[in-house]
Amino acid sequence: MIFEESKEELFQAKIPFPIFIPENEEIKSSIRFSYNEPISVRIEVGSDRERISIKESFMDWFYYGFPKNHMKSSVEYYGKETVQIMDINGEKSVIFSGRDYLGRSSSTAFFNGTMLEFRYEEGMEDAALNMIRDIRTHSVGAINFIDSSFLCNYHSNFQWFENERIGRLSWKKIWGEGLWNYFPDSTGEFQHLHKITIFKNRLNEFMWVDVSRKNSGIKNLRYRFSRGGNIFKLMKTKDNSFYGAISDIGPYLFQNEDEKFVYTVTVPRMKEFEKNCQNFFSHMENLNFSPFLP
């Protein structure tokens, strides 16, 4: 179902994530809602020949800060992307530009828990980036991963394996001590084979700790990231571990495996992440709950 909405109506609608509306533009907007699909806000700006389409949604099927829509395959591979850092609303933010999985010109940004996808015609990238630069955050309170997620609350007829990975977990909210300026938010587990723990910072940015059991016989427990041909500015590999940084401020990815488990940690932003991830396991042992599998 699609509901046409004005700016004022969008702000009053019960959307489970923050929304962002271009301030000085004539817009056409709608809310897309279905019982078997996540809620999304769609905004059209400009004329037919110079139109920018914006899709706003809560990305619960992939790691926060990593634009899944730009991946060339369904799992791991990024095409040629431009990554730049912008000051937006007083915070440094990472913006991705390139082509999405359908080959369309696209830029993607993440703000306060929301993923914004900008699609446009060839040659309109600067106009889209200017629109991103001028985004202003309206009053946004803290959000919770489970409350904002569609997949945490939907458990049948998964069309894509990304959805199945999240939807088959049993989710609950958690509280406790923080880790690296991130605080416990939610955790989900599937039959002692797969566990995801979500931490959140003051900007509603989500850190994922994703642990899966090796040789379980269950499909689609984890992602295997390509070690080349992607957007990581810095990559380091050692034995069974992989560290990647997309920019100087993040997002970061750390993947490690031992005899029993594969651990994937993604962090939207952090100082000295490489140094911290070297002591990842000792940090986790100091928490008052365990993000690991038994």
- 199 φ, ψ to 5°? -115, 155
Q: Which of 1-15, 192-206, 269-283 ranks highest by mean pLDDT?
A: 192-206
Which of 4-13, 19-28, 63-72, 138-147 is predicted least confidently?
4-13
What is the model's pLDDT at position 26?
Answer: 75
Q: Which two tokens stand for residue 157?
A: 């007829």
Provide the percentage of residues in the chain whose pLDDT is more than 90: 38
Which of 7-11, 150-154, 156-160, 220-224 is predicted least confidently?
7-11
What is the model's pLDDT at position 122?
Answer: 87
pLDDT tens string 95-127: 999 888 788 899 999 999 999 999 998 889 999
Please state, in angstroms and as integers, the Cα–Cα distance from residue 260 to each residue in 94, 103, 198, following that order.
34, 38, 22
Average pLDDT in the 182-189 region? 96
Q: Give the pLDDT band (50/70/90) at residue 72.
A: low
- In single-letter form, the type of residue at position 54 comes to I
Residue 188 has pLDDT above 80, yes or no: yes
Residue 276: other Cβ atoms inside 10 A: 17
Higher pLDDT: 267 or 46? It is 267
Residue 74 has pLDDT above 50, yes or no: no
Higher pLDDT: 216 or 71? It is 216
Average pLDDT in the 60-68 region? 91
Average pLDDT in the 132-161 region? 82
Average pLDDT in the 213-236 region? 77
- 217 φ, ψ to 5°? 80, 0
Which of 6-10, 50-54, 193-197 is predicted least confidently?
6-10
* DSSP secondary structure, 239-285, as one string: TTEEEEESSTT--EEEEEE-SSEEEEEEESS-TTHHHHHTTHHHHHH
Q: Give the pLDDT band (50/70/90) at residue 57.
A: very high
Q: Give the pLDDT band (50/70/90) at residue 3.
A: low
